[in-house]
């Protein structure tokens, strides 16, 4: 058993608490990882807020991490002690019907136990002050050591800087993949990206790499425009600058609507606007943001009858074990940006400050 520091969420709506936790050794088909770097994501904040119906407490959150394998349980063959890895919140077992189908990346092998905050055998590897602590998204990267299923880990280039590539565990991969895998953005096309946070910037990067000629960034926070243009946005607009609905503004700007739109916020009203900003006949809108529990989307069916398509994406459609190492290689060869997404680097005990910076849009 390893004793180490972790940020424990004891209950919903309260700040994380830095505690000494005990991390049990990995059982069969499990891997124990020394986490070197982790990022914070709105999904962690969503669960911490208490709004997530799958949220269990007390829990160790975190799902954008990178580290080194400390030990492996019996039967583990894909990684060994000392390997550099990224934990994966969407695993890839290679055996279930989802993994065998090229149309999806949503491996279901451990979905039920992962959603309940436990390892595949139904138990936890974390204890603190005598209490069992739940796992989160199968990763729990807000701990100096974590245990994950062996299908939830990708071995990456040992030379990769872990304080950067940890972002490929969720946000950057999700946005980039939404553009290149889910939408399959074509050269010369016009795109609109709603929400210019990390995921939105990654979508812009993907649209640019795919050859889009016009990329319109949409956000009410104008402080984000300069960064969006750095990533490839050709122009940025705010919904607050017009009395008309944003979809009407975009339809006028683009002679009938955009070819591709992306919702990167998790707001059902914006999802509707993103669809309705698409061009009749061929426009495609991708939902990337995760809306709160119980919310529903709506539009007039005529929007779809007249040739628009509504799609969603999880982790950018990447089959995780296969593709995360390739994304790291793309970063190392400067095909995709990662360093530019990092705004602040904080010591682990300032993790609550990181959440404050995220909530304030900084």
Per DSSP, 208 falls in state H
Strand locations in the chain, DSSP E? 2-9, 17-23, 30-39, 59-60, 64-72, 84-87, 126-128, 131-133, 145-149, 153-155, 190-194, 214-218, 235-237, 260-263, 284-287, 309-312
pLDDT at 159: 98
The pLDDT score that the predictor gives to residue 51 is 86
Closest CA to 141 of 80, 103, 86, 182: 86
pLDDT at site 235: 98
Global pTM reads 0.96
Q: Give the tokens for residue 121.
A: 């055998």
Per-residue pLDDT of the chain (362 residues; tens, 9 = 90+): 999 999 999 999 999 999 999 999 999 999 999 999 999 999 999 999 988 888 999 999 999 999 999 999 999 999 999 999 999 999 999 999 999 999 999 999 999 999 999 999 999 999 999 999 999 999 999 999 999 999 999 999 999 999 999 999 999 999 999 999 999 999 999 999 999 999 999 999 999 999 999 999 999 999 999 999 999 999 999 999 999 999 999 999 999 999 999 999 999 999 999 999 999 999 999 999 999 889 999 999 999 999 999 999 999 999 999 999 999 999 999 999 999 999 999 999 999 999 999 999 88
Asked if residues 85 and 153 have their Cβ atoms less than 8 Å apart, the reply is: yes
Architecture of the 174-314 domain: 3-Layer(aba) Sandwich (3.40)
Task: Round to whole Å and give the CA distance between 275 and 187.
Answer: 21
What are the pLDDT digits (tens) for 293-311? 899 999 999 999 999 999 9
For the chain, the helix, strand and coil percentages under 3-state DSSP, each to the nearest 5: 35, 25, 45
Parallel/antiparallel/unpaired status of strands 145-149 and 131-133? unpaired
Q: What is the CATH T-level fold of the domain 2-169+319-360, as seen in this structure?
A: Quinone Oxidoreductase; Chain A, domain 1 (3.90.180)
pLDDT of residue 104: 98
Whose CA is closest to 162, among 257, 96, 237, 87?
Answer: 87
What pLDDT does 144 receive?
98
Burial class (CB in 10 A: 0-12, 13-18, 19+), 45: middle
Tell me how far apart the alpha carbons of residues 94 and 323 are, in angstroms, rounded to a whole number: 13
What per-residue confidence (pLDDT) applies to 155? 98
Cis peptide before 299 (omega within 30 of 0): no
**What is the C-alpha separation between 221 and 136, in angstroms, rounded?**
30
What does DSSP assign to residue 343?
-
Q: Give yes or no for a contact between 357 and 343, defined as CB atoms under 8 angstroms apart.
A: yes
Domain ranges (residues) in the chain: 2-169+319-360, 174-314
């Amino acid at each position: 058993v390893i004793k180490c520091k972790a940020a424990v969420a004891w209950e919903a709506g309260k700040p994380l608490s830095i505690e000494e936790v005990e991390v049990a050794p990995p059982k069969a088909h499990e891997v124990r990882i020394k986490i070197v770097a982790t990022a914070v994501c709105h999904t962690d904040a969503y669960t911490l807020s208490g709004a997530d119906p799958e949220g269990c407490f007390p829990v160790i959150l975190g799902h954008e991490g990178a580290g080194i394998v400390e030990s492996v349980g019996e039967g583990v063959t894909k990684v060994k002690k000392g390997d550099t890895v990224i934990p994966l919140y969407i695993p890839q077992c290679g055996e279930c019907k989802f993994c065998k189908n090229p149309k999806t990346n949503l491996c279901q092998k451990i979905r039920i136990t992962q959603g309940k905050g436990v390892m595949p055998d139904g138990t936890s590897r974390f204890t603190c002050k005598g209490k069992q602590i739940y796992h989160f998204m199968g990763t729990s990267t807000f701990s100096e050591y974590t245990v994950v299923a062996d299908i939830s880990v990708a071995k990456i280039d040992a030379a990769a800087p872990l304080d950067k590539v940890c972002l490929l565990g969720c946000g950057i991969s999700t946005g980039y993949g939404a553009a290149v895998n889910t939408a399959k953005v074509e050269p010369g096309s016009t795109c609109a990206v709603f929400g210019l946070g990390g995921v939105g910037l990654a979508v812009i990067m993907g649209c640019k790499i795919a050859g889009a000629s016009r990329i319109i960034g949409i956000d009410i926070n104008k402080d984000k425009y300069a960064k969006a243009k750095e990533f490839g946005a050709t122009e940025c607009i705010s919904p607050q600058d017009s009395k008309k609905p944003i979809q009407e503004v975009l339809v006028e700007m683009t002679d009938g609507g955009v070819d591709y739109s992306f919702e990167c916020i998790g707001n059902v009203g914006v999802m509707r606007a993103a669809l309705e900003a698409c061009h009749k006949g061929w426009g495609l809108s991708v939902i990337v943001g995760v809306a709160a529990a119980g919310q529903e989307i709506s539009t007039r069916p005529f929007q779809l009858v007249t040739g628009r398509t509504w799609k969603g994406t999880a982790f950018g459609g990447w089959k995780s074990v296969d593709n995360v190492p390739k994304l790291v290689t793309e970063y190392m060869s400067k095909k995709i940006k990662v360093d530019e997404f990092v705004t602040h680097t904080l010591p682990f005990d300032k993790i609550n400050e990181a959440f404050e910076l995220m909530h304030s849009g900084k």
